[in-house]
Structure 1
Amino acid sequence: MNNDFKRVTDREALKKSTEQLRGRLKIYIGYAPGVGKTYAMLNDANSRLENGEDIVIGYLESYQRKETENQIGKLETVPRKNVEYDDVVTEEMDIDGIILRKPNTVLIDELVHANPPGSKNKKRYEDVEEILSQGINVVSTVNIQHLESLNDIVREITGITVRETIPDKIIENADEVVVIDIAPTALQNRIESGYVCKNENTGRPLNNFFRLGNLNALRELALRQTAEEVDEDLEEYRKEHGIKENWHVIERVMVCISPSPTSKKLIRRGARIAKKFKCEWIVVNVNSTRIFAPKMTEKDVVTLEGHFKLAKQLGAEVVSLTGKSISRELSQFATERYITQIIIGHSTRTKLQTLLRGSTVTRLLKLTKDIEVHIIPND
């Protein structure tokens, strides 16, 4: 018998079969209407068509923008179907028609679209899921303000409540996400020139949703959201390939604290560095179980709780670890969380304690050779 043979369970076989059957989802994401998502999608589709791919338009929303409509080129369009509701007839995407046509790839604009009552699915992203399940690739578009988790943030920025949203998992599970980005001033120029908002006074949108401050904030949201998705993909890649080295793609700061009053200084330093890099940061305390380690007093517990409270107020994640070696626990945690910068205070141990237990800072430096360590002097 071949010892390399591995028995596959029915559930694993079904999962693998489903993954092989499912189409791939590519999403063009932008920070606001008019940045050029649909234009870019059509431009890429025409190139793929010229290379022999069977790619069609399932639904396109051009908003009567000539520049966008000119990009349709030779792309075939699957006819829409008429849907009647309350004596009003609208043209909607024909899911069954797309599945029957069974192209290799279909373009479906406006992922956040809500279907009229009586439709097969309530939302267009549900239509997309159904089409993907048939082994057809889908290319779609969406704006950052339509992500469910960002709904409150977008309202705070713009003062506008976005009614239509999609679950974050749609973006998270996409096979490819492409950010379409232009400078906010360039987008405002497009609006002023009438390329974005047709048949409307251009001054109104520029004074409302498309204010420069709004656009800058939404743009940063879009770029940061995509950076997080890329970072997750990179982490998965490293795990799959057994790569343990820390690639300094995105900064992550770890602040090492103890019940010492000087830890507040370290926390504030961490907050400033994290703000500078606009990155996540973690405040970590290790409870040592080594025989010579001093035991935590009630006062120490209260002090440590105060440190954690300050850290949370400043936006940090707080973590408590337990282990014999403080330096080893810190270095292991830093590796697991891909920390790029560590902040730690000078050792407060006496000469006798250092003789018996060694120096945490010295050991940490030896264990974290690929991480930048900031040693902050005590007051």
Structure 2
Amino acid sequence: MTEDIHPYFRKKTPDELLEEIRESTMGKLKLYIGAAPGVGKTYKMLQDAHDLKREGIDVVIGYVETHNRSETEAQIGDLEQIPLMEIPYKGRIFYELNIEEIIRRSPEVVVVDELAHTNIRGSKNAKRYMDVDELLEAGIHVVSAVNIQHLESVHDIIQTLTGVTVRERVPDRFIQKADEVQLIDASPETLRKRLVDGKIYASEKIEQSLENFFTSTNLSALRELALREIADDVDERIERSSGALFDGPVGIHEKILVCVHYGTTSEKLIRRGYRMANRLNAELYILNVTDGPREAFSPIKEEKVKQWKELAEQFNAKFIIEEKNSRKPEVVIIDVAKRFFITQILLGQSARTRWEEIKKGSIVNAIMRKTSNIDIHIVADNRRN
């Protein structure tokens, strides 16, 4: 007789145990994300550093870029600053984060500004986020800051929106490993006023910035990107941490699953799903449950799949072909819905004549019984009874 062992209580492999030990000794990363320069990321980091110090936490400044803003400079106060490393390059002296000195000093928390910064040639690491990685490996907690335009995944969007090519970028995987992400927000009107008041850039750069990067349209778009990034981050953390606590999606990000078969309403379903996704700013998934492997498809079925894939590409949706094997269609739908944390499912009414389970009215009930927090929509066909 075999014993069923719950995955939470199974014996862990040596590699898994070593990884757990490694993670427990690593420092934690807190990130402040803003839509644009001047929202107050550095100011807020320094404020929080003072709060930590008052609580008896050993906190130091590894690197802070004040951009000569008097309010930010004043906020440094009596915080200990680790001397920067001097690196000569092409007849000049450059100042970079002093990793070795920070590790030698071994504080509990270090403030490291300008996460996307590219280090000068001769530095130990090419990018500052690599320096931060090293500090985390040494068990030091890091608080850092970055603007949304420096994320690798939004590079093309930023270039299209603003016409600016952002050369200093941070991989999304680095952002995703942060233990805490905090949005520092300011309205486009507030940012433009700060710019005019000389609180962001020097006077000679104000007019050019107002007409280029700091237009109201650009700042609004950047703010929306930042808000979406934080919302997605919250959603992903909830999904990762929910585990066995929740039987279904618990985040705030809508995800729509359209189930298509070889009836007359499949394209209508996909378009309806797209319109819903577009209104809700949701991710769209298209699922086709098959009886056998793709290689066994008839030319008619293959042509249908081709049409669905083209629509999926047009609507920026993820197209999924799932083989039934020994499962019932509703079980396949449930499995896919749980895998992708789907929040809404669209089914076609005409599919009732093709699947016995749907004809008996069981598929919707089965999905509702075996999931939670998922809305189910039945889209009527155009035929009269």
Please confirm whether the aligned pair reaches a TM-score higher than 0.5, indicating the same fold: yes
**Cα separation, 2, equivalents of 1:375 and 1:57:** 58
Equivalent position SS for 2:334:
helix
| 1:327 maps onto 2:326 in alignment | no
The letter for the 2-side match of 1:37 is K
Q: Which residue of 2 aligns with 1:195?
A: 199
How far does the alpha carbon of each residue in 1:229-260 deviate from its partner, in whole angstroms, 9 at most, with x for none? 22221111112x44313325221101111122
Q: 2:239, 2:251 within 8 Å by CA — same for their partners in 1?
A: no
Alpha-carbon distance, 1:349 to partner: 4.8
Which residue number in structure 1 is paired with residue 4 of structure 2?
Answer: none
Is 1:133 aligned to 2:132, yes or no? no
Indicate if the aligned counterparts of 2:196 and 2:206 stay in contact, CA closer than 8 A. yes
Bigger shift: 251-260 or 13-22? 13-22
> What are the equivalent positions in structure 2 for 1:107-146 lying under 5 Å apart?
107-146=111-150
Aligned to 1:292: none
Equivalence for 2:159: 155
Which of 33, 40, 53 in structure 2 is aligned with 1:36?
A: 40
Larger mean Cα displacement after TM superposition, 361-370 or 124-133: 361-370
1:168 is matched with which residue? 172
Shift of 1:95: 1.5
Structure 1 residue corresponding to 2:82, chosen from 78, 82, 90: 78
> What pairs up with 1:281-320 in 2 under 5 angstroms?
281-288=284-291, 297-320=298-321
1:376 to 359, 376, 379: 379
Q: Secondary structure at the match of 1:179?
A: strand
CA distance in 2, matches of 1:162, 1:77: 29
Deviation at 1:42, TM superposition (A): 0.7
Q: TM-score, normalised by structure 2?
A: 0.89
Give yes or no for contact 2:234–2:251 (8 Å, CA) kept in 1.
Answer: no
Q: What pairs with 1:218-233 in structure 2 (closer than 5 Å)?
A: 218-233=222-237
CA distance in 1, matches of 2:36, 2:360: 48
Q: How much has 1:276 moved relative to structure 2?
A: 0.7
Residue identity opposite 1:223 in structure 2:
L
Structure 1 residue 340 corresponds to structure 2 residue 343? yes
CA distance in 1, matches of 2:133, 2:19: 16
Name the structure 1 match of 2:5.
Answer: none
Cα displacement (A) at 1:347: 2.9
1:249 aligns with 2:252: yes
Identical columns (%): 41
User: Of 90, 96, 107, which aligns to 1:92?
Assistant: 96
Matched residue, 1:366: 365
Secondary structure of the corresponding residue to residue 203 of structure 2:
coil
The 1:376–1:309 alpha-carbon spacing in structure 2 relative to 1, beyond 3 Å, is same
**How many angstroms apart in 2 are the aligned matches of 1:304 and 1:129?**
45
Work out the CA distance in 2 between the residues paired with 1:361 and 1:113: 62
Change (3 A) 1:361 1:36: farther
**Counterpart secondary structure, 2:305:** helix
Secondary structure, counterpart of 1:71 in structure 2: helix
Q: Kindly tell me: are residues 285 and 9 of structure 1, through their superposed partners in 2, closer, same or farther at Cα, counting changes over 3 Å?
A: closer
Q: CA deviation at 1:7?
A: 6.6
Distance 1:255 1:6, change over 3 A: closer
Do the aligned partners of 2:238 and 2:251 also contact (CA within 8 Å) in 1? no
Query: Larger deviation: 183-192 or 359-368?
Result: 359-368
Offset of residue 208 of structure 1: 0.4
> Per-residue deviation at 1:136?
0.9
Q: Give 5+ residue unaligned stretches, structure 1.
A: 290-294
- Amino acid across the alignment from 1:274: A
Q: Which amino acid aligns with 1:218?
A: L
Q: Deviations over 1:34-68 (max 9, x none)?
A: 11110111111111111111101111100011111
Q: Which residue of 1 aligns with 2:16?
A: 12
State the partner residue of 1:263.
Answer: 266
Residues 253, 274 of structure 1: 8 Å contact kept: yes
Instruction: Please list every run of 5 or more consecutive structure 2 residues that lacks an aligned counterpart in the other structure.
Output: 1-8
TM-score by length of 1: 0.90
**Matches of 1:360 and 1:220 in 2, distance apart?**
44
Contact 1:344-1:361 at 8 Å conserved across structures? no
Contact 2:285–2:317 under 8 Å retained in 1: yes
SS of 1:347's partner is helix
Is 1:48 matched up with 2:52?
Answer: yes
Alpha-carbon contact 1:331-1:364 (below 8 Å) kept: no
RMSD: 2.3
Shift of 1:6: 7.8
Residue identity opposite 2:253 in structure 1: I
| Cα separation, 1, equivalents of 2:112 and 2:180 | 15
AA of the residue aligned to 1:69: E
Aligned-partner Cα distance in 2 for 1:361–1:253: 25
Moved more, 87-96 or 56-65: 87-96
Which is further off, 319-328 or 151-160?
Answer: 319-328
| Contact in 1 for aligned 2:27/2:137 (Cα 8 Å) | yes
